[in-house]
Amino acid sequence: MNQQRGAALQDPFLNILRKERIPVSIYLINGIKLQGQVESFDPFVVLLRNSVSQLIYKHAISTIVPSRAVRIPYGNDDVDHREELPAPSEEESLRPHSETFTD
């Protein structure tokens, strides 16, 4: 996947999370879970706000999990293509993140 295609997917997703102030869980590649709301983002970082602001480098992020389903506009044409991402089930959200990866 080229860098432009990745930005075409992540930018609308992060922007919806930011605009709608949807609480998120951000899992880092080292397994740490951060929670808050996306305050801002650019091509390299995400600014996460909870009781304090945290600047998170995107290369350290494994997964971003919204607390509810998010509708993402897809494509640049006039047709409204949307994909709905479901919120995780309670069982999935309670499972430690590191268990989802197996060798």
11: how many CB neighbours lie within 10 A of its CB? 13
In a domain, 48, yes or no: yes
In a domain, 51, yes or no: yes
| Residue 70 C-alpha from the chain's centroid | 10
In a domain, 60, yes or no: yes
**How many separate domains does the chain show?**
1
In a domain, 94, yes or no: no
- Give strand pairing partners of 72: 83
In a domain, 101, yes or no: no
Helix (H, G, I), strand (E, B) or coil at 57: strand
Structural domain containing residue 31: 3-89
In a domain, 7, yes or no: yes
- Give strand pairing partners of 64: 26
CATH at 82: 2.30.30.100
Q: What is the pTM of this model?
A: 0.68
Helix (H) or strand (E) holding 24: strand 23-28
**pLDDT tens, the chain, 103 aa long:** 455 666 788 999 999 999 999 999 999 999 999 999 999 999 999 999 999 999 999 999 999 999 999 988 765 543 344 455 556 665 555 555 544 443 3
Q: Identify the pLDDT of residue 100.
A: 43
Half-sphere exposure for 45 (CA within 13 Å, toward CB): 10
